[in-house]
């Protein structure tokens, strides 16, 4: 059994749901009263990817407050992939994803010099009444700033958490194979809606 270590950073404005996303994915728990992240928090999840590979996934939950942005170069170092999250009920957090993406692209690359693969997550799709961002706006921004794709999520309801991470993991495994010159298949057992649809559009049933 081969063990691989991947580092994924989660960035975005404060209070968009980054910490809740990590806790939901790692331990399947959700609370409304998480304390604001100071600097960076860490979580680890071990995934049996196939009969050949285990993945140790380091999740770096990076604070969104402006006073911590001077440290992002340190936090981004050696990242294999990135999630940028915004709140569908707060348009300013959507607009600020551009700043986060540019910051990432300026400060961090993969070992071959290519950009860090980055998925855009539109959280709180369960709150339809207060939605401020359309799918068309997300799609346009995603294409303009070269995101891998995007998905609506609801951490509260557990929607598109596993699927989004599964999509990102497949991208990291494919990149690992490319860099190592491995022709073996890295496909995990099962299907991924984000990948199967060959689109970045949301599968959120909200």
Predicted confidence (pLDDT) per residue in 138-162, tens digit: 999 999 999 999 999 999 999 999 9
Give me the phi and psi of 59, to 5 degrees please. -110, 120
pLDDT of res. 26: 94
- CA 111/CA 127 separation, integer angstroms: 40
C-alpha distances in Å from residue 67, one per residue of 13, 87, 99: 12, 20, 15
The answer to whether position 205 is within a domain reads no
Instruction: Tell me if 51 is assigned to some domain.
Output: yes
Per-residue pLDDT averaged across 79-104, rounded?
A: 96
pLDDT at 39: 61
Please calculate the CA angle 45-204-149 and round it to the nearest 5 degrees. Answer: 65
The answer to whether residue 1 scores a pLDDT higher than 80 is yes
Q: What whole-number distance in Å separates Cα of residue 159 and Cα of residue 62? A: 22
pLDDT band for position 181 (cuts 50, 70, 90): confident
Q: How confident is the model at residue 70 (pLDDT cuts 50, 70, 90)?
A: low
Domain that holds residue 83: 2-196
Q: Mean pLDDT over residues 174-196, rounded? A: 64
Any domain includes 178:
yes
Helices within the chain (DSSP H only)? 18-27, 72-76, 91-95, 97-107, 135-144, 161-180, 193-196
Mean pLDDT of 162-175: 95
**Total domains in the fold of the chain:** 1
121: domain CATH number is: 3.40.50.300
Predicted confidence at residue 205, as pLDDT, reads: 40
The maximal CA–CA distance of the chain, rounded, in angstroms, is 49
| Burial class of residue 144, CB neighbours in 10 A (0-12, 13-18, 19+) | exposed
The whole-number pLDDT of residue 197 equals 43
Tell whether the model's pLDDT for residue 196 goes beyond 70. Answer: no
The answer, yes or no, to whether residue 67 has pLDDT greater than 80, is no
- The pLDDT of residue 199 is 37
Within a domain: 190: yes
Q: Which of 137, 190, 143 is nearest to 163 (CA)?
A: 190
User: Which of helix, strand or coil describes residue 118?
Assistant: strand
| pLDDT for the residue numbered 206 | 41
What are the tens digits of pLDDT across the range 115-132?
A: 999 999 999 999 999 999
CA pseudo-torsion sign 94, 100, 105, 109: negative
Quote the crossing angle between the two packed helices 161-180 and 18-27, to the nearest 10°.
80
Instruction: Work out the mean pLDDT of the chain and round it to a whole number.
Output: 85
**What gap in Å lies between CA 195 and CA 151, rounded to an integer?**
11
With cut-offs at 50, 70 and 90, classify the pLDDT of residue 195: very low
With respect to residue 203, please indicate whether it lies within any of the assigned structural domains: no
- Helix (H), strand (E) at residue 45: strand 40-48
Assigned domain for 206 exists: no
Q: Which pLDDT does position 183 carry in this prediction? A: 61
- For residue 72, what pLDDT band results from cuts at 50, 70 and 90? confident
Residue 36 domain flag: yes
């Amino acid at each position: 059994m081969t063990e691989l270590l991947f580092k994924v950073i989660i960035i975005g404005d404060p209070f968009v749901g980054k910490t809740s996303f990590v806790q939901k994915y790692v331990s399947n728990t959700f609370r409304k009263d998480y304390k604001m992240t100071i600097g960076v928090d860490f979580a680890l999840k071990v995934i049996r990817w196939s009969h050949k590979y285990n993945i140790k996934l380091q999740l770096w939950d990076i604070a969104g407050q402006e006073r911590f942005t001077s440290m992002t170069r340190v936090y981004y170092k050696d990242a294999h992939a990135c999630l940028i999250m915004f709140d569908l009920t707060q348009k300013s957090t959507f607009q600020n994803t551009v700043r986060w993406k540019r910051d990432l692209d300026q400060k961090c690359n993969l070992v071959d010099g290519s950009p860090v693969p980055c998925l855009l997550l539109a959280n709180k799709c369960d709150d339809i009444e207060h939605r401020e961002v359309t799918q068309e706006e997300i799609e346009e921004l995603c294409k303009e700033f070269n995101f891998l794709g995007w998905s609506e999520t609801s951490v509260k309801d557990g929607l598109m958490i596993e699927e989004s991470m599964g999509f990102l993991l497949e991208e990291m495994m494919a990149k690992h194979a490319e860099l190592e010159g491995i022709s073996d298949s890295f496909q995990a057992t099962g299907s991924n809606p984000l990948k199967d649809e060959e689109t970045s559009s949301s599968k959120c049933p909200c």
